[in-house]
Copies of this chain bind each other. A is one copy, B any other.
Amino acid sequence: MALTRAEEVMYSSGAHPRHRHAPEFEEGVAFMFGEYVPVEQAGVPITDTGFMQADGTYDVVSVSKGMFFRLEDHLDRFERGCDLFRMRNPYSRQQMREICENLVRLSGFQDAYVWYGVTRGQMPHTDRNDVNLYECQFYAFVIPYLFIADDQMREKGLALHVSQSYIRIPEHAVDPRAKNFHWMDLKLSLFEARDKGHDWSVLLDVDGNLTECPGANIFFIKDGRICTPANGCLEGITRLATFELAKEVGLELEVGRFHVSALEAADEIFLTSTAGGIIPVGSLGGKPIASNRENAYTRRMHDLYWTKRWAGWHGTPVAYD
């Protein structure tokens, strides 16, 4: 059973040709302080607390075949993130839509990774503990689409490593429902995974329950039930899409608390991410996944995800020049 070959479509120059764009936007486009600039020239002020103190929230929406995927869901989540972190987005919902579309239009990318975020900006001189004195800043950029796992890795299935050295930052410290810059635990667990010869990592909470992976949610399937953590993780938009796809393929959904031992007994495991959709896992800690079903459900949902997206599912088309 072969996977839909997303990479071929996305990266081969013939398939989704890049639209017209100004030469200075070859690498991508950024929007900051009200202007569109080449992405490699975009600099965040070194004293912005978004840099010095990871004091910001962000989101990433993907574009494939010239269509945003679930743009409104991403904008909804971003609004909730701003509320959770007490940030005031200087732009309205409609302005956000326009900025996102302008970025993609100016870049000409048909397959794109659109990042936008709000930081708390500079520390106020008078009272840095008064949340109302901060003037939040908005930043955004577009670059070519990024895949956590290319076609070959997805075909084979990711080699997943359960981090032994790091736990995920708990929700009572930094709420993961607000997408945030706090990635050190995630990054170091990725390096740990690679050191051991694996591709990606999953982090547990202090009690050994599943939380999330760097930039991805985790799912597993056991006896016709599809399971994913309720807490300690981002409420991913591809995770949300997977809830719909799971219903379509006849799986029963359970969103709850799952000990890592449930993962070890799973029939199928996969990750979901805006950066790559549905990503089959081939091994856990070096051992092949228990099932002899060859990730049958995962593959069906993977292919459904892309074929539906390319047919316009939850899509917002970009008006290119």
CB distance from A233 to the nearest CB of B (A): 14
> Does A216 sit at the interface, judged by CB under 8 A?
no
CB distance from A244 to the nearest CB of B (A): 29
CB-based nearest B residue for A139: B46
Question: Which residues of the other chain, B, contact A11 by a CB distance below 8 angstroms?
Answer: none
Once the chains bind, are B181 and A173 in contact (CB under 8 Å)?
A: no
B-facing mask of A151-188, CB < 8 A → 1, else 0?
00000000000000011111011100000111111111
How many copies, total? 2
Once the chains bind, are B169 and A174 in contact (CB under 8 Å)?
A: yes
Once the chains bind, are A172 and B166 in contact (CB under 8 Å)?
A: yes
Once the chains bind, are A54 and B194 in contact (CB under 8 Å)?
A: no
Q: A interface, how many residues as a size bin? A: 35 or more
- Among candidates B40, B183, B206, residue contacting A53 with C-beta atoms closer than 8 Å: B183
Q: In residues 35-94 of chain A, which contact B (Cβ within 8 Å)?
A: 39-40, 42-47, 49-55, 58, 85-86
Question: Which residues of the other chain, B, contact A170 by a CB distance below 8 angstroms?
Answer: 167, 169-170, 173, 206
Once the chains bind, are B43 and A85 in contact (CB under 8 Å)?
A: no
Question: Which residues of the other chain, B, contact A47 by a CB distance below 8 angstroms?
Answer: 39-40, 42, 141, 143
Question: Which residues of the other chain, B, contact A139 by a CB distance below 8 angstroms?
Answer: 46
CB distance from A154 to the nearest CB of B (A): 16
Most buried by B among A40, A45, A51, A168: A51
Give me 7 A-to-B residue pairs in the complex whose CB atoms sit less than 8 angstroms apart, sorted by A's number: A44-B46, A52-B58, A52-B183, A129-B200, A131-B194, A167-B172, A169-B169
- What residues of chain A have their CB less than 8 Å away from a CB belonging to chain B? 30, 32, 39-40, 42-47, 49-55, 58, 85-86, 115, 120, 127-131, 139, 141, 143, 166-170, 172-174, 180-188, 190-191, 193-194, 199-200, 206
